[in-house]
Amino acid sequence: MTATTDGSTGAVTPRAASASQPLDQAAATAPGPLDAATRAIQRSTAFLLAQQDAQGWWKGDLDTNVTMDAEDLLLRQFLGIRDEKTTRAAALFIRGEQREDGTWATFYGGPGELSTTIEAYVALRLAGDAPDDPHMAKASAWIRDQGGIAESRVFTRIWLALFGWWKWDDLPELPPELIYFPKWLPLNIYDFGCWARQTIVPLTVVSAKRPVRPAPFPLDELHCDARVPNPGKPLAPMGSWDGVFQRLDKALHLYHKVAPRKVRKAAMNSAARWIIERQENDGCWGGIQPPAVYSVIALHLLGYDLEHPVLKAGLASLDRFAVWREDGARVIEACQSPVWDTCLATIALADAGVPADHPQLVKAADWMLGEEIARPGDWSVRRPQLAPGGWAFEFHNDNYPDIDDTAEVILALRRVDHPDRPRMENAIARGVRWNLGMQSKNGAWAAFDADNTSPFPNRLPFCDFGEVIDPPSADVTGHVVEMLAIEGKAHDPRTRRGIEWLLAEQEPDGSWFGRWGVNYVYGTGSVVPALTAAGLPGSHPALRRAVDWLESVQNDDGGWGEDLRSYRYEEWRGHGVSTASQTAWALLALLAAGERDSKAVERGALWLAETQRDDGSWDEPYFTGTGFPWDFSINYHLYRQVFPLTALGRYVNGEPFAGLSAKGG
């Protein structure tokens, strides 16, 4: 790639129609969309370069929903450390997210959600809002209309049980003896996805201890009959899996009453050791907020005081999840994504024409190389002979490197001319080897573990919120296949198995399901570039079906959008308000399939150029990231910047690595 750099701003001017044509001549003769895209690239490049941290990384804010903020206040209340400043700032944010009907949603523009509304309501009660305040009365009336606390999810009722607002006997049982299950036994802790595993182990301690702290106020207004009822729901038939697990839960409740004290104490101590062994250097657990919250509670219940180094570091790490906004509001991030954001920003800038030896790209590559994980984690339980390598998602998460991040980091490093070539090549080689070793039996890749596909964890009555296993997905597999192709392994039998799996997973309408992004637009935008990088021609029937589907769901304004409701309702597939990130994903697929000169691509590129803000950024209130399909949604603030720049860069400059891999294969 060729480009010129303005030394005063760092802005990069990408080449236009061809490398041999002067920019001013190209701009004068280029069609409208190409000229508009070129100008948009210039503004976007300058904006993104200016967002880089001095250490070399990028990190955008990560929005989820108000349960993070509500549970943070409940944790502080439980530990006796809630202060007025934090409470006031959290309440300011929570109130601002309430909808006209009195509810809170889990994503922008989404419907009111019962458990989220209950937790937000309780948090505002902690902040001093009175039940008869108009906004509170509206919320409680809606909650009662939906069935009250009894109809909320298990995690919400656990939080309420901590203060006596719900009965522990009316919650599913989660025994700490689970820690002793061998890895070959169903429902051992390694049958759960890493995020669920890190949450469930501490919750076994909480479930065994069943603590109740004095409630600061009653919550009668959230019960349909003004008292805490026993749900008493009928059991499913004995011949069904649901019926089996419901009866197993009843047996575990009986066991709770007769569990040998020595066995239970030993199990809780083993759980504590497991938790402490997995605490990261920054005090957090897994780089995500929920396991940190429950780990702190569990260890505190086992006698660790708040000044103990483990708890002190854990509480300090939770403070680092807080974002203080200019209006005085305090917002809790469920996670932080610097590795993911940095590799995506590097790819975007390189594909937009920033030189491979640009100092900021070199600094980004240097930072990513420093984040390589060099020790085994939980993944090695299923792959004990595999040498460590790869990258995680967060600042500190050495126990759980991410297969998706590793693939994208390698793709980013390949775009940078790093001065220490041997260091970079060795890191890439270790990452490629680790990714290949994490391939599941079916030929595909998941996010964190291999073959994490047990059908049993999702059946537990306890697991009524989001995914608790980590099966392979099309988007992750697409990213790994693309990386392997660039690394000269397109014809490796393991890559071919991944390609075969992707082709078999294509939906009848031509799209692919998106596990970690919303949704079919994301899945399709991830898979098509992978298949073409691996050598499939744009004329391949699977790619033609994908192109036809994308063109069929393009919005009238030229952009693409997909609402999170597509995870639940068929009619939302590929449909929603146009967004910058989803428009970019569609363009990445169409460009990879050879559709650069199509009307659909021109309209999409124009939409991105015309909706760009004056500072070179894009606005995107809609949630296009996925934690758990439908149940937990994410707005990655950097998605709206990196993906449009990548798509426009490829539109103007052509596909990266076109026709050959980085290894020349």
Scan for tokens 């146009």, then name that residue. Answer: 578
Is residue 556 part of the annotated active site? The answer reads no
Per the DSSP assignment, residues forming a β-bridge with 636 are 62
**In 3-state terms, the chain is what percent helix, strand and coil (to 5)?**
50, 5, 45
User: Which contacts (CB < 8 Å, 24+ apart) does range 222-228 have?
Assistant: 222/118, 222/121, 222/140, 222/143, 222/144, 222/148, 222/149, 223/144, 223/148, 223/149, 223/150, 224/144, 224/147, 224/148, 224/150, 228/149, 228/165, 228/166, 228/167, 228/170
Cα–Cα distance, 95 to 137 (Å, whole number): 13
Taking each helix axis from N to C terminus, what angle separates 639-653 and 32-50, rounded to the nearest 10 degrees?
140
Order of strands across the sheet with 632-636?
A: 62-63, 632-636, 625-628
For 365, which DSSP code?
H
Cα–Cα distance, 238 to 257 (Å, whole number): 24
Amino acid at the residue 466: G
Cα–Cα distance, 584 to 561 (Å, whole number): 10
Cα–Cα distance, 586 to 563 (Å, whole number): 15
Cα–Cα distance, 104 to 120 (Å, whole number): 7
Residue 658 has a CB neighbour count (10 Å cut-off) of 10
Per the DSSP assignment, residues forming a β-bridge with 635 are 63
Contact 339, 368 (CB under 8 A): yes
Burial of 418 (0-12, 13-18, 19+ CB in 10 A): buried
Scan for tokens 């599941």, then name that residue. Answer: 440
Query: Given 35, 402, 404, 563, which residue is catalytic?
Result: 404
Burial of 593 (0-12, 13-18, 19+ CB in 10 A): buried
- Longest CA–CA separation in the chain, Å: 84
Contact 162, 211 (CB under 8 A): yes
Residue 255 has a CB neighbour count (10 Å cut-off) of 14
CA angle 324, 284, 173 (to 5 degrees): 110
Q: Which of 446, 416, 534 has its CA nearest to residue 486? A: 534
Residue 493 has a CB neighbour count (10 Å cut-off) of 9
Residue 190 has a CB neighbour count (10 Å cut-off) of 18
Cα–Cα distance, 383 to 397 (Å, whole number): 18
What is each CA distance from 555 to 1, 575, 592, 601, in whole angstroms? 32, 8, 20, 12
- Structure-block tokens of residue 100: 């006209």
Per the DSSP assignment, residues forming a β-bridge with 633 are 626
Residues 6+ apart with CB under 8 A from 20: none
Positions marked catalytic: 404
